[in-house]
């Protein structure tokens, strides 16, 4: 197996992008990634498109994106894993290169959610669990799923609605600096607390938006990466896990009682083992993390699922502001899904775009010095969840080449 590095990254503006088709949106980030790596499309050997689909009129997004990006007749494929789609696409690309099948390839995560009306989007997301048992019989939507987690965490660990509001405040604070973010205004805890309930105890400002957007990565084998850049960002490890479709079957292997996601725990443990990281007190190993904060409670659970703190102590990290830049572990200092936006198929690549910029110490030039993490360990972590733990991918990026 060969080592694999990220050598180019690109990102579109996240918003409701009525101004572009899905292939044009994909090209926005792809052309930036090519420019970043000083390459042209003809240099690439394969394209993987992460796109959940269903929202857009295009049923073969990889084909039209290949054509628009100038990749024909190179091979292509579409990958889907719900909200973890483009992390799964990166995992496939990683294995293509590590195995020796190709040396240089493009991964594009893209989604055009606003081609469907809002009620259709909500229904399609709600169908992402076990359709018959949960959506059809009980009418659960995704805010409802995560509200169950929030109420369980409140009961077990004394979480307050005000604590969740503080996560939203932090993420909007950093999104205000991010020129790619959907929401670029800071908010106050009072504003978050006064917003309407969506699914108690989750309010409007506890929920991520629906988003159009794309993010792209160029991956290369070690021999090629060293020719392209002096600062390759190595993919040290990837962990992946799948949770049950039916939430009533969760907690078969752990006793989280809906205050965490078993699949996220498993994916994290796999990644730590492969990267040679002690799974205890993991926060000290990373300079920055991007976690899947589709709802504020999801970010809180991620702190504990990833071992940044003990069970029940995530609230303490919030209250002490330890997940701000300069704290124990800076989390979502690009705005996260909560405020940067969550175009389903693009989110994983978007995380890795931000983390790559962070490790190169370039993010401060993009978003301002206050959003640039101090790089000491040379490691960053991306935690990407599909559904409510139906899929989980944890990807570790590093300045140092893995010891394989």
What is the set of active-site residues?
83, 342
For residue 10, give every residue at least 6 positions away whose Cβ sits within 8 Å of its Cβ, in sequence order, or none.
Answer: 28, 29, 30, 31, 32, 33, 34, 35, 36, 215, 216, 353
Kindly list the distances between the CA atom of residue 25 and the CA atoms of 10, 49, 124, 212, 366, in Å, as whole numbers in the listed order: 12, 12, 21, 8, 20
- Total count of residues recorded for the chain: 404
Backbone angles phi, psi at 299, to 5 degrees: -65, -45
């Amino acid at each position: 197996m060969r080592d694999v590095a990220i050598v180019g990254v690109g990102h579109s503006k996240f918003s409701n992008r009525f101004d572009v088709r899905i292939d044009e949106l994909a090209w926005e980030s792809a052309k930036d990634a090519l420019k970043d790596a000083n390459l042209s499309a003809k240099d690439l050997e394969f394209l993987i498109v992460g796109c959940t689909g269903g929202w857009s009129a295009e049923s073969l997004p990889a084909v039209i994106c290949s054509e628009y990006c100038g990749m024909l007749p190179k091979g292509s494929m579409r990958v889907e894993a719900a909200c973890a789609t483009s992390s799964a696409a990166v995992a496939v690309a990683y294995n293509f290169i590590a195995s020796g099948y190709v040396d240089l390839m493009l991964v594009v995560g893209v989604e055009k959610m606003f081609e469907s009306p809002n009620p259709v989007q909500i229904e399609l997301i709600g169908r992402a669990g076990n359709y018959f048992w949960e959506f059809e019989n009980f009418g659960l939507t995704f805010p409802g799923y995560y509200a169950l987690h929030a109420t369980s965490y409140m009961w077990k660990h004394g979480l307050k609605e005000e604590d969740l509001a503080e996560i939203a405040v932090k993420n909007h604070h950093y999104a205000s600096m991010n020129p790619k973010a959907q929401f670029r205004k800071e908010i106050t805890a009072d504003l978050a607390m006064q917003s309407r309930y969506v699914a108690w105890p989750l309010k409007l400002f506890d929920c991520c938006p629906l988003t159009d957007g794309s993010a792209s990565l160029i991956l290369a084998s070690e021999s090629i990466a060293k020719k392209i850049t002096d600062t390759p960002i190595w993919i040290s490890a990837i962990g992946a896990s799948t949770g049950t479709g039916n939430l009533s079957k969760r907690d078969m292997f752990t006793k989280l009682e809906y205050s965490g996601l078993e699949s996220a725990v498993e994916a994290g443990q796999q990644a730590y083992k492969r990267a040679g990281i002690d799974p205890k007190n993991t926060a000290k190993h990373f300079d920055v993390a991007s976690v899947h904060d589709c709802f504020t409670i999801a970010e809180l659970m991620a702190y504990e699922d990833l071992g940044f703190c003990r069970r029940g102590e995530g609230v303490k990290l919030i209250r002490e502001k330890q997940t701000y830049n300069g704290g124990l572990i800076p989390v979502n200092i690009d705005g996260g899904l909560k405020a940067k936006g969550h175009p389903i198929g693009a989110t994983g690549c978007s995380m890795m775009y931000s983390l790559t910029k962070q490790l190169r110490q370039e993010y401060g030039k993009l978003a301002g010095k206050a959003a640039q993490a101090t790089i000491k360990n040379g490691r960053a972590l991306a935690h990407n969840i599909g559904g409510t733990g139906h899929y989980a991918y944890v990807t570790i990026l590093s300045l140092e080449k893995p010891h394989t």
